[in-house]
Amino acid sequence: MTAQTAVATFAGGCFWCLESPFDSEEGVLETLVGYTGGETENPTYEQVSSGGTGHAEAIQITYDPSVVGYDRLLGIFWRNIDPLDAGGQFCDRGSQYRSAIFYHDEEQKRLAEASRDALAASGRFDGRIVTEIVPAGAFWPAEEYHQDYYRKNPIRYKFYRYGCGRDNRLKEVWDK
């Protein structure tokens, strides 16, 4: 991270599905999918997806804060998850698919908590927002075949996303 760049880290179910919305945002310089929030060092996809590492599938975003603010990234994040689901996201179940905001400094923490609190006060949701807001720790990049999966395997990606019910649930949650 330099004076011209900052890092944001989010978990919201399958990490493939979080890359596309951020990649298309002006000011986002790079997205990297990987694992964070657990104890196992340098975990593999098989270890994380089995649920035994404590890690979540996540995305790390390097961005230019003079072009896109952290609050805008939070807005993109919220609109691409189900903040009411404590058991995972969409068809992916278990804590490895939990939703979480991993903050890198006190300002990110403040903005994340304020955005969560504003959503909770909005009256939009019938349930409680369960998305975690926790300090960022080590981030372990996922295997190369997971990076930019939606671009490398567009048909498989679309089939997965549709089959998982992600888009239908997002419409239910956000298009009220």
Query: Largest Cα–Cα distance in the chain?
Result: 42
CA distances, 2 to each of 7, 22, 45, 123, 138 (Å): 10, 20, 30, 39, 18
| Listed residue (8, 153, 50) closest to 161, CA to CA | 153
Question: Residue 30 forms beta bridges with which residues?
Answer: 62
Bridge pairing between strands 6-12 and 28-36? unpaired
Q: Is 91 a catalytic residue?
A: no
Name the catalytic one among 14, 17, 91, 164: 14
3-state secondary structure of 89: strand
Q: Tell me 110's DSSP state.
A: H
The values of phi and psi at residue 62, to 5°, are -100, 130
Q: Tell me 122's DSSP state.
A: T
Using a 10 angstrom Cβ sphere, with 0-12 exposed, 13-18 middle and 19 or more buried, the burial of residue 66 is: exposed
Q: Which residues are catalytic?
A: 14
